[in-house]
Structure 1
């Protein structure tokens, strides 16, 4: 059965290492017959949440008028959500954090999703990605019925494109095929 797959690429660099892994996941998901889309978050306007709670008394509408409404619509429609970020100071990057925080407007309307996580780091250890993974997992833990389906670690990559020669590229493609 075909699924709707939404890939949120938090990479600040188009064709950066985590973004390239997103492309491979996307390719695999599409080749296996799924409807898949990637949003390159840096190309979207997503302001940080200002905790005004306008959304709580206005049916999930946010007081901030930017691209987050479109992203939330797509998150609600998706069966599968892939979240990708490079590791910055052992955590997710600002683009991904802003999106996670802004789901406050409709987080209760994003139930029963399958989640995949993609992370890249300059260091060769998975340990440096622990906090990043926990950020993703913490977000999903707030969503009713969320299920973690897979994690991809792109280790030892710094310069854009370093990931191309790494096993994580094949892993991302094959994980996309299995969606």
Structure 2
């Protein structure tokens, strides 16, 4: 299949939306209709974006993992902020579903495990009003596995930020729910936004820890 035909196929699949009770829903409505949990045991790929090994977003990822494993899910984790992931160069060597020309970094781990995962969790601190560059580099590399990631999955996300202005966070929430998930045809499974978190450890003892745990159990 050439690139043009592949684009038509994948974009048509994404535009089709999700099926709930025989009713096809598209766009934001599909995200709103996603159930809180389906009771199915899953393999979950967690992709974090913080360069701080013991930062607040990673602490919430740990709580999510605890909840997910207690619910019987399998969890695999990729800490992009502590790995080497080169940014996409738009060379189109992969043709949107093929071997990436950047073959000397850690992205193959993501490529391997996202193909067999039924759920994906994105975790990131908010840097300069968006997700970290480390996490975005991983998402941009999805281009080389476009067909693979278009298979229906459940997905949630966790964000942490120093201030408490939720209006500033809304564009990031929209990026996942109205942008990425709509395009990929993924089901929205929930999210946690930890506000007022600056120094490492600030999240400990907050309600955000329980929210992350419950998201892990219910994904």
Same fold (TM over 0.5): yes
Alignment partner, residue 99 of structure 2: 61
For residues 176 and 114 of structure 2, the distance between their equivalents in structure 1, rounded to whole angstroms, comes to: 15
Q: Which has the larger radius of gyration?
A: 2
Q: Is residue 180 of structure 2 the alignment partner of residue 139 of structure 1?
A: yes
Greater displacement, 123-132 / 10-19: 123-132
Question: Which of 49, 53, 67 does residue 14 from structure 1 map onto?
Answer: 53
Q: State the 1:60 CA deviation.
A: 1.4
What SS does the aligned partner of 1:87 have? strand
State the number of aligned residues: 177
Q: Is residue 70 of structure 2 the alignment partner of residue 70 of structure 1?
A: no
For residues 124 and 172 of structure 2, the distance between their equivalents in structure 1, rounded to whole angstroms, comes to: 8
TM-score (norm 2): 0.77
Q: State the 1:130 CA deviation.
A: 1.5
Tell me, which stretches of 5 or more residues in structure 2 are unaligned? 1-39
Tell me, which stretches of 5 or more residues in structure 1 are unaligned? none
1:106-145 matched pairs, under 5 angstroms: 106-110=145-149, 111-137=151-177, 138-143=179-184, 145=185
| Contact 1:79-1:113 within 8 A present in 2 as well | yes
What SS does the aligned partner of 2:204 have? helix
For residues 95 and 135 of structure 1, the distance between their equivalents in structure 2, rounded to whole angstroms, comes to: 16
Q: Deviations over 1:71-102 (max 9, x none)?
A: 12211211110001111111111001100111
| Contact 1:22-1:38 within 8 A present in 2 as well | no
Q: Deviations over 1:121-151 (max 9, x none)?
A: 10112222122223333222221x3111101
Q: Deviations over 1:91-126 (max 9, x none)?
A: 111001100111100122111010101001101122
| RMSD over equivalenced CA pairs, Å | 1.4
For residues 34 and 124 of structure 1, the distance between their equivalents in structure 2, rounded to whole angstroms, comes to: 32
1:78-93 matched pairs, under 5 angstroms: 78-93=117-132
For residues 43 and 88 of structure 1, the distance between their equivalents in structure 2, rounded to whole angstroms, comes to: 16
For residues 107 and 142 of structure 1, the distance between their equivalents in structure 2, rounded to whole angstroms, comes to: 10
Question: Which of 132, 140, 148 does residue 188 from structure 2 map onto?
Answer: 148
TM-score (norm 1): 0.94
Q: State the 1:40 CA deviation.
A: 1.0
What SS does the aligned partner of 2:155 have? strand
Question: 4+ residue stretches of structure 1 with deviation over 4 A?
Answer: none
